[in-house]
Amino acid sequence: MRTVVITGASSGLGSEAALELSRRGWQVAVVGRHEARTHAVAARVGGVPFTADFDELDQVRSLADQLLARFPRIDALASNAGGLVPQRARTVDGFDLGFQRNVLAGALLTELLLPRLRAARGRVIATASVVNRLGGLRLDDLDFARRRLGGSWRRYGAAKLATILYARSLAERTGLESYAFHPGYVRSSFGAESPSARVFIALTSSMQISADAGAAPLVHLVDTPELGVPNGTYFDGLNPFGQTHPSAGDARLAEDLWHAIADRIGVPVSTADR
């Protein structure tokens, strides 16, 4: 049986993807922040629950240890946790809350699971966003300490641009299949902590799609044996080669960003030969 780890799976498109992949015969590790919801989703899909708060990197490290102990084979990782963070805040690790929640924690989990994923010739799928096109990534200010947040949308866009660049870096460094995607404008609890986001979401409710529709690209990217596109491709929904910020194709920026991420999460920059 193939095994997929899905983070951010206690609600929304993550839980819907868990349900559909379970129906297709996958063993699902359901990872969420809220224990009760995570266990409820795992019970619903016949999966295995794991609780971790990505605002603390030690919890991510503990999660990786638990996953490695539980699953001798991991075929796919769906890095789906994240969200819009309206306030300026630092984590216990000393990093910007938005950047850690959307980028650093997922990268750390990926790197810790990497040997097992590579052994299975597995695949990593990262949930990004069309909002990446608003992002301006500055390696000297990844934490947005010296820039305006722009209602937090600029910071969120920069984090999702970083997600796309990290996915491409992972593909280039390791040869492991690695893709990022925009799920669409999904009806969910996204932006619930942000007053501006709540207003925008209320005004545009007719444009939103259901969580199961948003999960469809994730399920497709996990479950389709041959995607027929270059490794590292960014998808807009089910469509490859989605529009991105111009710097998303900058190979040097992707490499430099990886170095900056590796330094923050405490993993070596070098990788084994492909």
DSSP character at residue 102: I
Expressed in angstroms, the distance from the first to the final Cα of the chain is 25
**Phi and psi at residue 90, to the nearest 5°:** -110, 145
**Cβ neighbours of residue 151 closer than 8 Å, sequence gap 6 or more:** 86, 194, 196, 197
CB 235 within 8 A of CB 179: yes
Which residue is catalytic, options 156, 166, 179, 234? 156
> 70 is written with which tokens?
């539980």
The amino acid sitting at 36 is A
Residue 241 — left, alpha, or beta (φ > 0 → left; ψ -120 to 50 → alpha)? left
**Cβ neighbours of residue 108 closer than 8 Å, sequence gap 6 or more:** 57, 60, 61, 64, 265, 267
Q: CA-CA distance, 57 to 272, in Å (whole number)?
A: 24
> Is position 156 annotated as part of the catalytic site?
yes
Q: Helices 12-23 & 35-45, crossing angle to 10 degrees? A: 20
Q: CA-CA distance, 270 to 251, in Å (whole number)?
A: 16
3-state class (DSSP) for residue 250: coil
Catalytic residues: 156
